[in-house]
Amino acid sequence: MLAYYEAWEQHTSEDAWASSWWEMSSAAGDHLARILGGQPGSVQIQPNASIGLSSVASCFDFSSGSRNKIVTTALDFPSMQYIWDAQQRAGAAIEIVHSDDGITVATEEIVDAIDETTCVVALSHVSFRSSFRVDVEAIVERAHRYDALVLLDVYQSAGAMELKAREWEVDFLIGGTIKWLCGGPACGYLYVRPELQGSLEPRLTGWVAHAAPFDFAGPPMHYDRSVRRFAQGTPSIPALYSVLPGLKIIEEVGVHTVREESERRTEWMIDFALEQGWKLNSPRDIDQRGGSVMIYVDDGPAMVQRLAERKVFVDCRPGVGLRMSPHFFNTDEEVKEAMEILAELI
């Protein structure tokens, strides 16, 4: 952020746009592409994940033809639900696959909801609510068999585990940088499968998406051929300064290492929690789980506060209790100490 401040201070004598700012967005996009398992030129920075999703939604005309169904799940983030819900006004039909236990969603039920009327299957890779992780391959396989597209919200998994955008052949990924990617706020991203990019023309657009933005030409819009066609207006430069170092650190540490550390620690945390007789609100099976562990407590916000007083920093979500998310920079000792403090407080 100090580097931003300096560039801003020098701005009149040295045009920061010409020297670096214009390139920052695609540089951040390419860092993200590597972290997501995609190739360079597959990620466009967005103001936040909600805009990334809205950009995708604006690519479709739900009112023409019969392919207007969106399949989502009950464990998705509210933005996902609000944005698709709003598309009903434009002719979309939404099918929300339910969760029996509030923790998991059956893959068979997601797969069964996909048919020849499905336009997009849009769901969280890892749920913010329970840390439940969906079976990506099974969903992509079924969706593509019916010519439907798949969008994964990877906000809760990117930077915490290996993602394989290219290998999975997933069509879209959305997310943001303030969680496992260790970045500042106000920076989202949208991955679009390279082979798909050229066929999409988002109605949520702006001058930066134009093939020749500095011609300032009148309409009609000529979308750029690159992933920049999914941009809107001026990139949020301070946000990019706040995310690039985190992305570099995550790449340096490596998502494979991050996940290995996470698996050891979260398995230990869960064993500890179950020994204490606490209610686990995340899947027990490591192959169905992201990097967070949800543990039920009666008054989540009060417990978050009491833990913070003891320098244990977690958050909570309504109905599920505490959300504990050890990252690579924690130590095993810290994680053990955190759980012992929680036991003391409970």
Ligand X SMILES: Cc1ncc(COP(=O)(O)O)c(C=O)c1O
Stretch that binds ligand X, among 30-38, 43-51, 60-68, 264-272 (CB under 6 A): 43-51
Query: How many CA atoms are closer than 13 Å to the CA of 264, on its beta-carbon side?
Result: 13
Stretch that binds ligand X, among 44-52, 86-94, 108-116, 131-139 (CB under 6 A): 44-52
Per CB under 6 A, the segment of 17-25, 47-55, 240-248, 265-273 that binds ligand X is 47-55
Burial of 34 (0-12, 13-18, 19+ CB in 10 A): middle
Is 7 buried (19+), middle (13-18) or exposed (0-12) by CB count in 10 A?
middle
188 binds ligand X (CB under 6 A): yes
Per-residue binding string, ligand X, 92-131, x by CB under 6 A, is --------------------------------x---x---
326 belongs to the binding site for ligand X (CB under 6 A): no
Q: How far apart are CA 93 and CA 112, in angstroms?
A: 16
303 forms beta bridges with none
Judge contact between 258 and 327, C-beta under 8 A.
yes
Please report how close the Cβ of residue 246 comes to ligand X at its closest, in angstroms. 15
Between residues 58 and 156, which has the closer beta carbon with respect to ligand X? 156
Say how far apart CA 132 and CA 280 lie, in whole Å. Answer: 12
CB of 77 to ligand X, least distance (A): 3
**DSSP annotation string for 221-263:** P-B-SSGGGG--SS--HHHHHHHHHHHHHHHHH-HHHHHHHHH
Q: How far is the CB of 258 from ligand X (least distance, A)?
A: 18
Q: Closest distance between ligand X and the C-beta of residue 53, in Å?
A: 8
**At how many degrees (to 10) do helices 22-36 and 237-253 cross?**
30
Q: How far is the CB of 326 from ligand X (least distance, A)?
A: 17
* Residue number, 16 or 32, with CB nearest to ligand X: 32
Binding status of residue 156 toward ligand X by CB under 6 A: yes
28 contributes a contact to ligand X by CB under 6 A: no
Q: How many residues bind ligand X (CB under 6 A)?
A: 12
Query: Which residues, at least 6 apart from 288, have a Cβ–Cβ distance to it below 8 Å?
Result: 104, 132, 133
DSSP secondary structure, 181-193, as one string: T---SS-EEEEE-
Q: How far is the CB of 193 from ligand X (least distance, A)?
A: 20
State yes or no: residue 155 binds ligand X (CB under 6 A).
Answer: yes
Does 236 interact with ligand X (rule: CB under 6 A)? no
Cβ proximity to ligand X, 29 vs 188, nearer residue: 188
Diameter over CA atoms, the chain: 67
Site string for ligand X, 125-144 (x = CB under 6 A): ---x----------------
The DSSP symbol for 279 reads P
DSSP string covering 87-153: HGGGT-EEEEE--SSSS---HHHHHHH--TTEEEEEEESB-TTT-BB--HHHHHHHHHHTT-EEEEE
User: One symbol per residue from 48 to 67: x for binding ligand X (CB under 6 A), - otherwise; what is it?
Assistant: xxx-----------------
Stretch in the footprint of ligand X (CB under 6 A) among 153-161, 264-272, 303-311, 314-322:
153-161
Nearer to ligand X, 79 or 325 (CB): 79
Residues that bind ligand X (CB under 6 A): 48-50, 77, 79, 124, 128, 153, 155-156, 176, 188
